[in-house]
Structure 1
Amino acid sequence: MNYKNITIAGSGVLGYQIAFQTAFHGFNVTVYDINDTVLEKAKSKFKSMCEAFKKDLNATEQELDKTFENLRYTSDLADAVKDADLLIEAVPENPKIKIDFYNKLAKVASEKTVFVTNSSTLLPSQFADATGRPSKFLALHFANTIWIHNTAEIMGHATTDPKVFKDVVAFAKAIGMLALPLNKEQPGYILNSLLVPLLSAATNLLISEVATPEIIDKTWMKATGAPLGPFAILDVVGITTVYNINKTAAENTKDELKIKTVKYLKENFIDKNKLGVSTGEGFYKYPNPTYKNSDFLK
């Protein structure tokens, strides 16, 4: 693995974390997004990442200064990938948006550039043809708060080059991840194959008016010893991602409960910009959500 120049496409919930983590570990990182306004937001989020890295990783000022030196920003896709050895796609979890992105990317990227998707639920085979380089395309999926929950699931598709797969595994290790290679394609990988049914069951209970988010979270936390309940997790993941996943499922299955969930999330969260931790409010208010109160489970 001789990757040096890494491009992160998308600076949202996971994109900016991947960019900072990669730059922290000494790679040259280009952050790409659709316009300069969005990129300015990413820059402000990097400042909060500094505090997290100091607190959780004991990062020094010197290490963080070097991290910022390793970061550059652009809203020009051709410029973003002109020297890229690896491009990590972290655009919204919507098949149409991803295919459109890959169609544009394939026209401007160097032949050497390996593409990986950070999709949390979609399969690389869905986009392989759109990339124009199926053998150099696979999935590299990160969990949220990647500097702490440092998992990296690596999943190829039928025609992924085995050497490219090994190189991406090595890259994941090089940026401080626990590399978790999968032997075959699996919707939801490992993490979300376990997590999504939990979150889906929780939203079903809410939409069916069985219990409130707080009561559902209390039940899960107290009964299992988990540090977070499903609705706290949804706030961390980001409600936009959850909305997009449910919207795709509703369109594909016409399931009545999924349709109700999409409507509920749109009216109560998306339209009100209550998108979770990133906007200061979702199912809970931040920075001091009630589930962190010492008496929440009493």
Structure 2
Amino acid sequence: MSTLDKITVLGGGVLGGQIAWHSAFMGKTVVVYDISEEALDLCRGAHGQYAAIYLAEIGASMQDVADARARLTYTTDLATAVAGQDLVIEAVPEIPEVKTKVYAEMAGLLDAHTLIATNSSTLLPRDFAEATGRPDKYCALHFANLIWALNVAEVMAHPGTAADTLTQITEFAIEIGMVPIPVHREQHGYVLNTWVVPLLNAAQTLVTNGVSTPEDVDRTYMIVNRGAPRGPMGTLDVIGMKTAYDVLAYWGVHNDDQQMRANAAYLKANFVDQGKLGLQSGQGYYSYPEPAYADPDFLSVPQISSASDIAARAMLT
């Protein structure tokens, strides 16, 4: 059993909010930190949505939900957020400069025993270890979106991570119902995003370059992966357009990948700049709570009367 009972989540965005809610639901006392009251209000609203999901989908009781809410607090004061905590999970934007700044600001505020884990999607913990001020107490713990159903938590060290840190972090993951996935070597993207990011980038390329519609990209994926609840474009909505943009923009520049930069620009212009953040805001490639890919007829063989319209879309322009 771990001793990590008092948790702080830095960043109440899409995945940070999920981590905070689920940890509280599983019995941890959780503080959510974000930089503005507006961001915290969005997180509170998301927690209301998660409460309904947990009641409907995982058999939670009203008392379970009330108990989870009672274990959650929210603050814009970093010192208050981290004082006396056992574990801080960093889930701020996937921008190296932002992460480094947060770690540097937090370093002098932590108790001696506090562990830190990054939920970074693609960046290595070694890049921020020194900024934490306690590299031996720092590693990666990366969660998948829809944490209540897709309960993966990847554990990755950097060269200075202590063995006891990894053990406690792994125990914590198990205590909150995750399947811990040990990453044997340092790897950008860990296990999950090493294959997810190329998949999503390839799917976005088809849309950016006008090869296919988002719906047909997802139909193709869902037909050849029967039982998949959504395709790549729907997955972008779940991840959140801001996170997807940050990842593609960073790696597009880092790898001098023109197509990836074009994909990032497409997401920014068509979604991020318009406040269409995906599932979080109710609008991305699909409209929520009833996205088209959830319609029973989404994968059906079309009526023969639609053949001419489909064929017209296949005409080269």
Tell me the TM-score range normalised by the shorter chain.
over 0.9
Aligned to 1:45: 46
Query: Deviation of residue 259 (structure 1)?
Result: 2.4
- Per the alignment, in what secondary structure is the counterpart of residue 154 of structure 1? strand
Aligned to 1:211: 212
List per-residue Cα deviations over 1:107-132 (Å, max 9, x = no partner).
Answer: 21112110100011111111111111
1:291 aligns with 2:293: yes
> Please, what TM-score do these two structures have when normalized by structure 1?
0.97
Structure 2: how far apart are the matches of 1:174 and 1:218?
37
Structure 2: how far apart are the matches of 1:252 and 1:183?
24
Query: Deviation of residue 180 (structure 1)?
Result: 1.5
Answer yes or no: is the 8 Å Cα contact 1:29–1:71 preserved in 2: yes
Aligned to 2:36: 35
Aligned to 1:144: 145
List per-residue Cα deviations over 1:161-207 (Å, max 9, x = no partner).
Answer: 01110100000011111122222211111111121111111112222
Structure 2: how far apart are the matches of 1:236 and 1:279?
10
Aligned to 2:24: 23
> Please, what TM-score do these two structures have when normalized by structure 2?
0.91
Query: Deviation of residue 102 (structure 1)?
Result: 0.6
List per-residue Cα deviations over 1:72-105 (Å, max 9, x = no partner).
Answer: 1111101111111100011011111101111101
Structure 1: how far apart are the matches of 2:29 and 2:239?
27
Query: Deviation of residue 37 (structure 1)?
Result: 2.2
Query: Structure 1 stretch 138-147 or stretch 60-69: which is displaced more?
Result: 60-69
Aligned to 1:119: 120
Aligned to 1:57: 58
Query: Structure 1 stretch 40-49 or stretch 242-251: which is displaced more?
Result: 40-49
List per-residue Cα deviations over 1:196-237 (Å, max 9, x = no partner).
Answer: 111111112222221111111111111221321110111111
Query: Deviation of residue 153 (structure 1)?
Result: 0.7
Query: Deviation of residue 264 (structure 1)?
Result: 1.3
Query: Deviation of residue 262 (structure 1)?
Result: 2.1
Structure 2: how far apart are the matches of 1:217 and 1:63?
36
Between the aligned residues of both structures, percent identity stands at 43
Which one of 223, 227, 230 corresponds to residue 228 of structure 1?
Answer: 230
Q: Larger C-alpha radius of gyration, 1 or 2? A: 2
Structure 2: how far apart are the matches of 1:284 and 1:86?
36
The one-letter amino acid paired with 1:51 is A
Structure 1 residue runs of 5 or longer lacking an equivalent are none
Q: Which runs of 4+ in 1 moved over 6 A?
A: none
1:258-273 alignment, distance < 5 Å = 258-273=260-275
The one-letter amino acid paired with 2:52 is E
Query: Deviation of residue 17 (structure 1)?
Result: 0.9
Answer yes or no: is the 8 Å Cα contact 1:56–1:148 preserved in 2: no
Aligned to 2:257: 255
Structure 2: how far apart are the matches of 1:91 and 1:194?
22
- Per the alignment, in what secondary structure is the counterpart of residue 271 of structure 1? helix
